[in-house]
Homo-oligomer: A and B are copies of this chain.
């Protein structure tokens, strides 16, 4: 029986994985945490074989959490969970001891494969993730498609222009620029300019 622990701040993800794995005979979900600290807390008194770990957590980022876990409990295999397919993050997780990288849109079989592969001590990478690593070209397939206008706006934000300046440059209203900005936020799953630009630069969107 492989004991799996889940760390993700989205309850639905935990719920989804739990449900996908509940009929799996060889796998048991032994617990979960909604943030990094609860996870660390848990492992002071409990154990597991595999941790499915979201890369973005409210308190600690996945890369750091992974490093802490692997140095403290080398026997636990960490599989990174991510919404997007970013070569940069994949590399960082791997450098910090992760045994695999799984996209949240993976199907049941992929998740099971990842868990079993990691359990056997090997590394599991989802198809696209592996490709992103070897080609050294971040796959944009798993990035939400941005429209032409969104890309333009993003480029201008990255240049340091304000919404007003962008509006003047594109001959549209500030409200429209704001709309595009909001769409970028929700598509890229960020909540402010700093995260937006970081994401954009790291993904060579700008």
Q: Which residues of A contact B (CB under 8 A)?
A: 61, 157-160, 162, 190-198, 201-202, 206
Contact = CB atoms under 8 A, between A and B. Distances in A.
B192 A194 contact: no
Contacts of A157: 194
Contact of A198 (B61, B192, B195, B197): B197
Number of this chain's copies in the assembly equals 2
B192 A160 contact: yes
Given A61-B159, A159-B61, A201 B190 contact: no
A206 B194 CA distance: 12
Nearest to A56: B160
Contacts of A160: 190-192, 194-195, 198
A121 B194 CA distance: 41
A193 B200 CA distance: 14
Contact of A197 (B61, B162, B191, B197): B197
A147 B158 CA distance: 25
Nearest to A159: B61
Contacts of A198: 158, 160, 197, 201, 206
A192 B197 CA distance: 11
A43 B21 CA distance: 69
A162 B201 contact: no
Nearest to A169: B59
A67 to B, nearest CB: 15
